[in-house]
Amino acid sequence: MEFVQPIRDLKQIETIKRLLKQQSLRDYCLFTLGINSGLRISDLLKLKISDVVENCKIKDRIRIREKKTNKFKNFPLSKNTISAIKEYLKSRDYTENEPLFISRKNKGYLLRQQAYKIINDVAKCIGIKEKIGTHTLRKTFGYHAYNNGYDITLIQKLFNHSSPSVTLRYIGITQDELDDVYLSLDL
């Protein structure tokens, strides 16, 4: 597996959302939910309609058991995420047992390879040069949580990492950013 980067630039995130929304509400919803939940791609792609809809209404929380850790994850959905899910589900017919992110070819779950292609293609389209992949969504969530002042130990707990240093490395905190602490503090 290649080491991929988060999307650090908020303008690039907005551009990606706009482009994905124009080409596919499914892909837009996948990206929006991914960058706002920090879920691993394996968990994101295995979501069912019933994980996000109850009694024909979008739930305000997702409760799942993580595939990798077998731990329960329970988190609220942001306004942007709820809006993206609503828009996407209005565009398709579904039953609550179906995959949330359905493959156009076989009506089953969207495959990891296809999710990679969606994310990678749109990133290249807007000129992102760093390595981008399915883990980019999760890393983008962590990177922006950290940059918005959330404690690294809190993000570590959200990601089920063993230490803050693992989380910092995972979310792509670069040497330049660490150096900036020294240079900007300048007491």
Per the CB < 8 A criterion, the answer to whether 142 and 171 are in contact is yes
Q: How many CB atoms lie within 10 A of CB 62?
A: 18
Q: What SS3 class is residue 84?
A: helix
Among residues 138, 139, 143, 146, which one is catalytic?
138
170 flagged as catalytic: yes
- Dig out the tokens for 124 from the structure: 């290249």
Counting beta carbons within 10 angstroms of the beta carbon of residue 5, is it exposed (0 to 12), middle (13 to 18) or buried (19 or more)?
buried
Helix (H) or strand (E) holding 22: helix 10-23
Beta strands in the chain (DSSP E): 53-54, 57-58, 61-65, 72-76
Per residue in 148-165, pLDDT (tens digit) is 999 999 999 999 899 998
Residue 1 has pLDDT above 60, yes or no: no
59 flagged as catalytic: no
138 flagged as catalytic: yes
pTM for this predicted structure: 0.92
Among residues 11, 68, 90, 104, which one is catalytic?
68
46 flagged as catalytic: no
CA distances from 2 to 32, 42, 62, 136 (A): 23, 16, 29, 11
Helix (H) or strand (E) holding 68: none
Among residues 8, 40, 139, 144, which one is catalytic?
40
Per residue in 47-91, pLDDT (tens digit) is 999 999 999 899 999 999 999 989 899 999 999 999 999 999 999
73 flagged as catalytic: no
The predicted structure's pLDDT at residue 105? 85
Per residue in 81-90, pLDDT (tens digit) is 999 999 999 9
